[in-house]
Structure 1
Amino acid sequence: MTSRAHLPRKRLGLVVLTIAGTLTALVTSAGAAAPSTPSAASPTVAPLAAPAEPEKMLVIGDSYSSYYGDRHSRYPGWWAMVAFQLGLEPQLDAMGGTGFLSRSSSCEHTRFKSRLDTVRAVAPRILVVEGGRNDWRRCTKDGRVVEATRTEIERAAEGFFDELAEVWDELGRTPDDVLVLTPWGTTKERKGRIIRPIVREAAQRHGFSWVETRPLTLEQAPDGVHPNNDGSRLLSEQVLQSSSLADRFPRA
């Protein structure tokens, strides 16, 4: 028989075991319900896409283009203003005195045809051919400058656009992405009435986009030829108004 003196100890032992078992169960259940906090997972960050480079607008031209700088220069070019309005990156291959036929009064520069390699290399989204003003003259083989005939001007313009059409097709571009304009001032008006239609008709025969521009006044071109800032601004506005560029390249 168990003595009464041992009963409290047994009960105490049962109580201790019960408490210990309860604590073990609590710890175990707590561990199952709330596992130790894992290290914070690194958030998934999508890499930032590199900003898209603006598409290029190449300008082949004469002094109406070459005498002027970018939009932030003292004398910004009409082409720089146009490119800015369209969100395009302008590139320039222009030389004063040159044209479809003319190689300048010194006969040292290149005709437009020699710049087709630039068209291939740049592969622009938009090509602007600005010229014709100087094509009333040509250089002879011995380096003299003489007045050009209508036939010579026509052949030069047609030959240039023939080769340009081939290059443009190689690049997979459409003809209406080539814009052609022949700006003029107040001097040599009679020659302008001959040359401008020649350039327009040759461009349109090849499916290129002719851009009609009004001759600049003496207020816009004080020397009768080259635009001042107001003249360049007017030319840029006429290019945008007389073409579909503003609709095709809307600014955000």
Structure 2
Amino acid sequence: MMMVLGDSFTVGSGPVPAWRAYACQAARLLGWQPVIAGAGGTGYLNRGRAGRTFQQSYEEELAWRPAPDVLVVSGGHNDQRWSTGQVGRAAARLVRDARAGWPATRIVLVGPIWLEAVPAKALRIRDTLAEVARREGVEFLDPLRHHWAGGDPSAVVLPDGVHPTPAGHLLLARWLARSLRS
């Protein structure tokens, strides 16, 4: 079983339902049952419209379930209002709580996702999450290393300029599945 906790990229947004979002597709590509948690606009500290952080989503939606084979926490996109120190502390707490509840589970942090131009603060959040992963002994995957939009951004980015199209979600799903296999 693959659990993924995240924001609108993870749970789907606009014309992309949850079952077509990259997290669910990646689990299917790997032959794992997906359990997807989180909500649009949320983050390690940002509560979004759902009124809860990743920590709260973990506690309410996931922690009570049997241990997954892998837990992927994907985010940081919505946490730009906070200092990197605050984001890092929240991420570390979540990793520690997940490890305490599921000691044999593989835990993977995925940094913030931007499909086009990446703001400087997103790079700092990415670096902070990578450091948290290193310190906590879990894996870190960096989606900012990739140029997702290529020559035609409209193929992978919705008109809102932020969220992936179905084709963009498929690119992210294939990347995540490849990364988790290796």
Same fold (TM over 0.5): yes
Instruction: Give the aligned partner of residue 114 of structure 1.
Output: 56
Structure 1 runs of 4+ aligned residues shifted over 4 Å read none
Superposed displacement of residue 154, structure 1: 2.2
- The answer on 1:184 being equivalent to 2:114 is yes
Seen in structure 2, the aligned counterparts of structure 1 residues 209 and 59 have a Cα distance that, compared at 3 Å, is same
Instruction: Check conservation: 2:27, 2:177, Cα contact below 8 A.
Output: no
- The runs of 5 or more residues in structure 2 that have no matched partner are none
Equivalent residue runs for 1:7-156 within 5 Å: 56-67=1-12, 68-70=17-19, 76-104=20-48, 106=49, 108-117=50-59, 118-137=62-81, 148-156=82-90
- The answer on 1:221 being equivalent to 2:165 is no
Instruction: Check conservation: 1:212, 1:242, Cα contact below 8 A.
Output: no
Superposed displacement of residue 95, structure 1: 0.5
- The runs of 5 or more residues in structure 1 that have no matched partner are 1-55, 71-75, 138-147, 246-252
Instruction: Check conservation: 1:66, 1:96, Cα contact below 8 A.
Output: yes
Q: TM-score, normalised by structure 2?
A: 0.82
Structure 1 residue matching 2:51: 3-state secondary structure: coil
- The answer on 1:166 being equivalent to 2:100 is yes
Instruction: Give the aligned partner of residue 241 of structure 1.
Output: 178
RMSD of equivalent CA atoms: 2.0
Amino acid at match of 1:123: A
Candidates 190, 199, 216, aligned match of 2:129 = 199
Superposed displacement of residue 221, structure 1: 1.6
Q: Distance in 1 between matches of 2:135 and 2:29?
A: 29
Q: Distance in 1 between matches of 2:147 and 2:39?
A: 21
Instruction: Check conservation: 2:11, 2:23, Cα contact below 8 A.
Output: no
Larger Rg: 1
Q: Distance in 2 between matches of 1:215 and 1:109?
A: 32
Q: TM-score, normalised by structure 1?
A: 0.61
Instruction: Check conservation: 1:100, 1:153, Cα contact below 8 A.
Output: yes
Superposed displacement of residue 200, structure 1: 1.6
Amino acid at match of 1:153: V
- Relative contact order higher in (CA < 8 Å, ≥ 6 apart): 2
Instruction: Check conservation: 2:30, 2:177, Cα contact below 8 A.
Output: no
Structure 2 residue matching 1:120: 3-state secondary structure: coil
Superposed displacement of residue 215, structure 1: 5.3
Query: Identity of paired residues, percent?
Result: 29
Instruction: Check conservation: 2:5, 2:73, Cα contact below 8 A.
Output: yes
Q: Distance in 2 between matches of 1:187 and 1:61?
A: 21
Deviations 1:138-172 (A, max 9, x none): xxxxxxxxxx2232222222222222222222xxx
- Give the length in aligned residue pairs: 168
Q: Distance in 1 between matches of 2:66 and 2:10?
A: 18
Instruction: Check conservation: 1:61, 1:112, Cα contact below 8 A.
Output: yes
Q: Distance in 2 between matches of 1:102 and 1:238?
A: 26
Structure 1 residue matching 2:64: 3-state secondary structure: helix
